[in-house]
Copies of this chain bind each other. A is one copy, B any other.
Amino acid sequence: MNFTPSNPDFATVVQASFARQGLMRMMGATLDRVEPGVVDISMPYSENLTQQHSFMHAAAITAIADTASGYAALSLMPAGSEVLTIELKVNLLRPAAGTHFVAEGRVIKPGKTITVSRADVFARADDGVPTLVATLTATMIMQAGKKN
């Protein structure tokens, strides 16, 4: 699907908001792609983010998937908007083993108040073959910006 952003500066808005996220910074996550309705975020493997079997924790996978979905939604919202996740659902398909993890956030249905988006998370290993490890669906709500 091709979406037309209502704010021409959407990429700057997404980058600035991403930069304020303490969790993304702590995880070493980076914003790899910002297009209308499309946001990719990646992070490296870290022992600080593991569950009991040394795989990446479901919540770390959820973190990049939720954030990519939310910013995919924000990229289509009017200037001054904020985005909040009201619910998310993630299916963990395979153990999150790899050196890097990429969440591909995509808007499924934009809306004035509610936007639904999805993110697939892929694990990459040294051989470079990506494996789908999780898929998330989330409902985002727009919070209107303050009028100056």
Contact = CB atoms under 8 A, between A and B. Distances in A.
A43 B56 CA distance: 19
A121 interface: no
Nearest to A94: B109
A54 B17 CA distance: 11
B57 A63 contact: yes
Interface residues of A, number: 49
Interface in A59-75: 59-60, 62-63, 66-67
Interface of A: 17-18, 20-23, 25-26, 46-54, 57-60, 62-63, 66-67, 82, 84-95, 108-109, 113-114, 116, 118, 132, 135, 137, 139, 141
